A and B are shown apart, each in its own frame.
Chain A
Amino acid sequence: MAPDAALYFEIDRLFADYCASLDEGDLNAWPEFFVDDGSYIMVARENYDHGYEIPLVYLDSKGMMQDRVFSLSNANIFQEHRYRHAMSGVRITAIEDDVVSVSSSYIVVQTLLEGDTSIYQAGSYYDKLVREGDALKFKERFVVYDTSRVQTLLATPV
């Protein structure tokens, strides 16, 4: 059965809100897009294609995501920067039980304090979405980034 347009619309809204929270710098809102035992994992395409497990970021609970946000806000030192996400190719790849699997592409451009904008990262999101109350949330956001050369550092999640 073809997934209905309403579900696509709902996923589109979730992604728009997710990108807006990161692009507007509202980092505290970011963990709230996930269920409590949700995970956010970033792996380089180079590793993913060869089956190597090592991640760039590996957060397997909402608590770990909150810790990352706290660390970025209070401990880590990095240049002031702003992300701007562009997403495309959203596809529902499976619906099993209550889990919706979705894949999509993203590009993040980064603007630094002196006003340069550059392509920071391109990659794919492989998501598993579930319902929590009325809201659709991430059970898993598995990010495979093509831009294996991380410019300077990665602080903010994509």
Chain B
Amino acid sequence: MREKWARRIALLSGGLVVALAVVFAYSQNPPDRSAPAHTPAATPVTPAADSVLVELGQRVYAEQDCARCHSIAGRGNPRSPLDGVGARLSAAEIRRWIAPSREPDALSDSFQARHANLTLTEPQREALVAYLRNLR
């Protein structure tokens, strides 16, 4: 008898928790807004001379697990999409995001900390910048 009630209460609490989680996810993503959330990036325009560099940059992006925090065309962590970043930021700005300076600036501490984990050589960083600049 008491077991039956315990199971009922367990079901009730479990149901409430899952319902609340669904409400949270739904309220974060109302159906009318969710459609444009994953717009695939427009076809990148790659000048022939840069294509090797861009390809290398894409490899660096994969090797460094950038998708853990970023997404491109719906793949990866949707929290910080990089779609169209090339149209929004200049090469210098992208470089500053990737390797933030030690001085306190506009970038928050937690971003600094995240990117501090990156182990990039100079050519790798330039390739990554080229790849990201190419996302328009």
| B is a partner of A | no
Residues of B in contact with A (beta carbons under 8 Å apart): none
